Amino acid sequence: MGGFGGLSPGERSGTPQPGSYLDPSLQESDADRSFSQSTLQATQQQRVLHSNDAAIAQREREIEDIAQGIIELSDLFRDLQNMVIDQGTMLDRIDYNVERMNTDVKAADKELVVASGYQRRTTKRKIILLLILIIFGMIILLVIKPKKHG
């Protein structure tokens, strides 16, 4: 294969093959390019990390808001429970008072019946006493008046 003056196929073509650069400035350019790519990848990774950190922080805030809402809801239910207990106590008192009132009304009715009987008897006694006084007064008049004439 030495027909072209002993040149290898890469030397014959005008296209350089990878890794065949001999110029040091071009080699540094490759190093710069790989450094730039690694820096770009690192920057992208940092952006992704910052984005993830921001998303995590946002989720933490949302979780804290939800937890605060749950605490407030728990307080509301506790207050509601206390109100229900208080109202139950009040209903028990009302029920007790109604039962007591029923008993007291029955006792009062009996007392009114007794008082009505006393009043009837008292009225009868007053009438009898008045009649006795009238009769006694007439007897006194009859006894005193005939003595004056006689």
Band (pLDDT 50/70/90 cuts) for residue 149 is low
- Listed range (18-22, 58-62, 78-82, 87-91) with the worst mean pLDDT: 18-22
| Bigger pLDDT: 55 vs 132 | 132
Percent of the chain topping pLDDT 90: 49
Q: Identify the band that residue 116 occupies on the pLDDT scale cut at 50, 70 and 90.
A: very high
Q: How far apart are CA 54 and CA 59, in angstroms?
A: 9
Judged by DSSP in three states, 114 sits in: helix
Contacts of 30 (CB under 8 A, 6+ apart): 21
The total number of residues written for the chain in this structure: 150
**How many Å is the Cα radius of gyration of the chain?**
61
Domain positions in the chain: 25-118
Q: How far apart are CA 138 and CA 80, in angstroms?
A: 83
pTM of the predicted protein model: 0.41
